Structure 1
Amino acid sequence: MEKAPRKVDAVVEAVHYTPEGKIDFVRLHERRGAVFGDHILVRREDLMQRLRAKQVIYSGRRLAPWGNQFEFGAPLRLVNHNGGEWVRCGEDDSAEARDLLKGVPVL
């Protein structure tokens, strides 16, 4: 896991994929001022709109005894392959035509 980033808008804690390899939804915690809010379920299109709007979204997990503390993983980003736009985590540049959030637990 990476050192805590200076600016982060949200943290993705878990992901659910469709059979086609696209993200169906993610469990996300949004930053609300100095703290993170409760988790919300966010569909793929909403997640992609957030990334297009240059929001900084990291993978991560909530630390058990501290409700508002996270261990941060890699940042999420959009990549273009074969005319499609895909969500990836970290430096993964594989040519697979699917979303892939390595290290993020699957729901």
Structure 2
Amino acid sequence: MALTKVDGVIEAVRYDAQGQLSLARLYKRMGPTFTDYVLLDRAQLVEMLQKNKRIYTGERLPRLSSSFRLGKQIFLTGPAGQEVLSTSRSQVPEHDQLSGVPLF
């Protein structure tokens, strides 16, 4: 199995009343390892994706520091200015939709 380049792993999210992501709990790659979780708002996450960072859903494996069980990759889809965060490239949902990611 080929190694996957991962720049961040989203563990949990929070949505606002309109269905847009308001906050994400994410582990960021820092060289050969990952940070403790950090909280990013939607604008910071969109900026990372616009810089071609590879963000996945997933969870950190207990007692294995920088090892994760990865889920789906997160994509920025839709026209400029109306981007939507999604785990699917083929369908553009009406609002942010990260399937399989728990809420916090």
Instruction: Give percent identity, aligned residues only.
Output: 34
Match of 2:94 in 1: 97
For residues 3 and 102 of structure 2, the distance between their equivalents in structure 1, rounded to whole angstroms, comes to 21
Length, aligned pairs only: 103
Give the gaps of 5 or more residues in structure 1.
none
Q: 1:31-70 residue pairs with structure 2 within 5 A?
A: 31-70=29-68
Q: Name the CA shift for 1:92/1:28 in 2 (closer, same or farther; >3 Å).
A: farther
Runs of 4+ displaced beyond 6 Å: none
Give the gaps of 5 or more residues in structure 2.
none
Match of 1:8 in 2: 6
Which is richer in strand?
Answer: 1
**Deviation string for 1:28-77 (max 9, x for gaps)?**
10111111110000000010010011001111101123232100011111
Alignment RMSD? 1.8
TM-score, scaled relative to structure 1:
0.87
TM-score, scaled relative to structure 2:
0.89
Contact persistence 1:88–1:99 (CA under 8 A): yes
